[in-house]
Every structure is written in structure tokens, then in C-alpha cells.
Structure 1
């Protein structure tokens, strides 16, 4: 019971105040939700593609018909090649293509009929558009070659090819694409990263409360009371853990059921992983605080620990973008392990397969908590 009284007192001093409630519960939930609204959700909108058709034959029209039937593209016709280049340069469209004059005649003669593409830079939309155009052209060339081998020429060949292509456009045999949700939202690491950063900031605040108790000799008076030392240590530990757990619950519940963000893994599994990270954060905070003798330096020390470790751990950008030597250093920060575990589970793995990640996070917490236990010594005075 003594430990619970100490834990509840820390909870009251840390969160149950208007300023702390806003700073450590409302603002983190709102910020993470804002990040989700800006870049967290998967984009389901079509891609704008500009085009010009200079071909006077039927093949150019057939080609546009095939492209327009693809669900990923929205076609916009431009009046001239100059206007086509302008919309690409101003990034009003993702990419553009031009069907040259005499396109149909070149195909009918069995010659190569290249389609000019315009793009400001390589991206997924331009690459898939190129693949689709090449695929359609290949089908047209195969159809023309097949009828040519049957001895058809000129008008007869043109009529047979157009009839065949018209039947192909009906797509009487279709493939059904099943989305198995095996991909991970590429922006999820940013959402999780900011969540971890707020968690570390809150845990550092709870450790600062313990430092204030030491500075004001409240800790010394607590140790002089007729209770066991381990009850005081356990009470402070439970209090810090409860504070962090409450923040995790608020952020997860708000982002999942108010913002409706799909993390791609069960609520309980994600909560358990974040609890392991919470333990590691407590260890880092206590270890850092044990080296600080003046509470006024805590803000500076935290900024030199929280921000760099979040950067190394992949909170702001994927670890794969960093040099090899930085990727190796990332193994020594807990953010890397929890983000990797959440991404693996979002791609289909189970919580039981994350035993190594949870074990590493537990070692972070236990070792650093042992190092930082010096902050609970009541005899240490603050250095001015």
C-alpha cells in the first residue's frame, strides 16, 4: 500500500494538473492525429495524367480508351505540346505522354511507334504508366503481326485489327485483384516516431519530479519514515510507469477510434510493444538523470539525448536511408527496435515472433534502471 500511495502521488503531481494534462495528454494526441491527417493515411486518389493525341487513325483512340479504363489514372487532354510541357513543369500532373502523328500507320506497317513521355522526375506513377503503355503497344503489335501472317493487307488488315482490338477493349475476361494488406504504410514510422518522442519526454518529466524531491529533501524525509526502502523505489517506478501507460492509452485510443488510423496490427499487441519501450525509456531517463546534479540542466540534457536517439532510431526517416555505420549505431537505441517490431507485425508477423525485440527493450530498461538507481539516494545534494 505504501508503494501505491507514492505512485498515486506521482500521478497526481505529473498529470492531474491543468498544465501537465494539456502538455502530456492532449497535445501529444492532437499532434500525432495532425501528423496522421497530413501524411499518415494511405493515398487512395487517382493520378492525373496529361496527354495529346496527334494520331488521325483509330489506334491512338484505342490506346486512350485502354488507359482511361485503368482505375489509377485520370486523363486530361491538352491543346498543344507547349501546354503539355507546362502542366508537367508546374507539377499540375504527375506525368504526360504524346501520341505522335502517323501512330496508326506506323503500327500497321509493323514499324516501331514510340510514345513520347514527359515527367519532371521518376516516380511510381510515371514508371507504371510507362509499363502500361508498353504493354498495350505490345498487344497491338502482336495482333497486327498475327493478322499479317494470315495474308491480310491494307484495308482488310486494318479492318480485322480494329475489330479484334474492339473486342479486346470489352475485357470479357477480367482478373480480380485481392488486397491482402501485406504492405506497410510508408509513413507509419513517422507516426510511431512522434509517439515515441512524446513518451520519452513524459518519462523525463516524471524523473524530474524525483529530482525535485531530492533537491527539496523530500526524498530524505521519505526514507526516514518507518517503511522499507524497496517500497519507495517500487512506488516511484510504478508511478512513472502508470504515467507513461496512461499517455500510451490516450494516444492509441484517440488515433485508432477517433482519427480512425489503421496501424495494421492488433491494439493489444501494439500496446504491449509500447509498454516495453516505456520500460526502456524509463531506464534512459534515470541513467541520464543520475549524471545530472543540477535540475536546471535537465532540459538541455534531455534535448541532447531524446532528439539524437529519435533521429538514429528512425523516428523521422527510415533507417534504411542512413549510411551503414549509422544503421549499426541505431541498434544501440530502443526506438529502432520498437519501430521495427511494429512494422514487422503490420506486415503479418505475430507478437510471439517479436521475442528478440522485446528482450532487447527489456535489457535496455533493466540495465539502465540499475545504473540510474543512484537518483534515489537521499543523501545526494544538488550541485548549484
Structure 2
């Protein structure tokens, strides 16, 4: 009972702190939603008007179109009409499935989709990325078939390929949505700075020490403080995710449960990291610098600054050693079990930062 009383007291204190609310909710919320609206405006429409010309002499071209339609909106034109629209600058680019598309696939050779575009067109859409995924699956299926093994494209859609960046899953995030998610994940890790500074100030002002004189057990006092810090972080970023979904990308709501689960697990990681650094580092300015460096490095390696698939192989070798990587994989692939790995990171950091309640109070 005393724990909940202390928890309520700490939550009230933190919620009333303007700096805490600004840093944890208001600023991240404006940035995430703002970027979401901007990217949706820039690239949102480019995913809706892809023009495809099917010049394939076999049947694989039609199958390719059917498959890519599951996650990309396209229109099929004849080549003359597509060329006319391009000359008139009614469109910025169109794609052509080559005549030997089926022939190359049957031999296990990867065919190339030709792109005809205006010089000024930057092609911000994700057609080429999605096309790579589908073609890779079709080539792999052909190789299996040549080995007398029947495998469907549906089965292969769940396998990783070297070139694939956007998966076939209909609920997979678009480029804009991925940016929103990555921003939120980065903010969660950077919140460890506020958590560590809060613990540092509580110790510096002897607030925790004075709390020990109230008759409450030290573990109860510190437990209430840490739980309050966790709840503020987890709830804030979960709300930001929901708001950005409703305002910028409604399709993100499909993955809200697993996203919130992973954001909460990352909040545990952030809390544990904050505890560890505040326990080791005794200088306030160094705490800020060290946590900024740790957050920046792990966010880069984990794929929340730049998509994991676009990172050099020399970098991705270390990605799996970051909680961000597993959280992103869990959300993108719909695998909640990966969140347990994120929790494991939190437990390791918390164990490393384990301290006696009296010693942190007197630090």
C-alpha cells in the first residue's frame, strides 16, 4: 500500500514538472508528428501512381504484377501510352517488365525492371525496393523448382533476402511510417538522459536520503521512484505513437499493440541505462555526454537512425547487439517474442547498475 502511495506522489511530482513533460512528451510529439506529416506529403503520393508496362512474352510478368499489387499501388499501361504521358510530363517515371522476364526467371537469372524517367524526377517512391523483393523471391522459387522442390512465393515472402528492403507483408511500414517509428524509438533511448539526471538530482538534493527517515523501506522508496520514471516514459511514447498514427499514418494502428509492447520494453532499457550511468558517473555534465554518445551509437547501429537494410555489412555485424534492432524487427515482422530480447538487454543493464539503496542516496 505504501508503495502505491509513494508511486502516486512521485507521478504527481513528475507530471507537474514542466521540464519533464516538455522533454518526454511535448517536444518529441511535435517533432514526430511534424516529420510524419512532412514525409507523408512528400512521398505519400508517390506510392499511389506507379505506371508499369508489361512487355514480358511469358506469364511471369503478369504474376509479378499480381504480387507487387499486394503492397504497392500501380497502374498497368501499354508502352506507347506510358511514353506519351512521360513526354507530356504527366508522370515522372514508368517501369517496364522486359520481354525476357519469364525466360530469365526460368533459368534462375534475375531480370531487371527498366525505369524510364524524366531527368528531374528523383523517384522517391518505394516501387524499386518492392520490385526487388518480389523478383528475388521469384528467382529463388525458380531455383527450388529446378532442384525439383516446389516452394510458393507466399512461403518465400517471410524469408530474408540480401537485396530486399521492404517486405511483402501488407501491414509493413512505408518509408514515412518507418521514419516515424525510428524517431520514437530514438527518443525513448535518449530519454535515459532525463532519467539519469533525475536520479542524480534526487541524490544531490538528498531527497532520497530524507525519504528514508519516513519509516518506509529504502527498496519501496526507490522502487516507487523508478516505477514512476518508467511509467512516464512508457506512457508518453505510447501516446505519441498512437497520436502520430491517427494524424499521420492510420495504417500504423494495425501494429499498435506490438509497437507499444516494444516501446515499453525500450523504456525499461532506457531506465536501466540511466540507472547504470548515474551509478557510475558522478559528474552531471559527463552524464549527459556519455548517455548522448551511447544513445547515438546504439541508435545508428540498431537501425533507428538509418534503416538496417541500408547500413554497410561492416556495421550490421554489430546491430544485433543493440535493443533497437530487436524492437524494430519485432514490430516490422510481427514477432512479439523478440521483445523478450529487448527485456534481456534491460535486465543486463539493470544488473550491471545494481546498487544498495543507501549508497545511491549518499552518492
TM-score by length of 2: 0.65
Query: Which structure's CA Rg is the greater one?
Result: 1
- Given candidates 252, 264, 275, the residue that maps to 1:275 is 264
Aligned match of 1:350? none
Aligned to 1:38: 38
Q: Give the equivalent residue in structure 2 for 1:202.
A: 191
Specify every segment of 5 or more residues in structure 1 that has no aligned partner in the other structure, as ranges: 50-64, 79-86, 98-114, 132-178, 346-352
Q: Distance in 2 between matches of 1:116 and 1:308?
A: 37
**Which position in structure 1 is the counterpart of 2:105?**
none
Rate the CA distance shift 1:202–1:116 in 2: closer, same or farther, 3 A: closer
- Seen in structure 2, the aligned counterparts of structure 1 residues 93 and 253 have a Cα distance that, compared at 3 Å, is closer
2:351 maps to which of 351, 365, 370:
370
Cα drift, residue 334 of structure 1: 0.7
* Alignment match of 1:354 (pick from 315, 329, 336): 336
2:321 paired with 1:332 = yes
Q: Distance in 2 between matches of 1:66 and 1:336?
A: 43
CA RMSD of aligned residues (A): 3.8
Which residue number corresponds to residue 293 of structure 2? 304
Match of 1:160 in 2: none
Higher relative contact order, structure no. (Cα contacts within 8 Å, ≥ 6 residues apart):
1
Match of 1:135 in 2: none
Which position in structure 1 is the counterpart of 2:206?
217
What is the CA–CA distance in structure 2 between the aligned matches of 1:287 and 1:238, rounded to whole Å?
16
The runs of 5 or more residues in structure 2 that have no matched partner are: 53-76, 97-113, 132-167
Give the Cα–Cα distance (whole angstroms) in 2 for the partners of residues 335 and 269 of structure 1: 14
**Contact 2:196–2:278 (8 Å) recurs in 1:** yes
Tell me the matched-pair count: 281
Matched, 1:11 2:22: no
Structure 1 residues 309 and 35: alpha-carbon distance in aligned structure 2, compared to 1, 3 A threshold: same
Preserved contact between residue 219 and residue 378 of structure 1 (Cα < 8 Å)? no
1:322 aligns with 311
- Deviation of 1:117 (Å): 5.8
Shift of residue 31 of structure 1? 1.0
Using structure 1 for the length normalisation, give the TM-score.
0.62
2:99 maps to which residue?
none
- TM-superposed CA distance for 1:47, in Å, is 5.6
Provide the residue aligned with 1:253 in structure 2: 242
Q: Which residue of 2 aligns with 1:84?
A: none
Distance in 1 of aligned mates of 2:9 and 2:84: 60
Aligned with 1:75: secondary structure?
helix
Distance 1:295 1:8, change over 3 A: farther
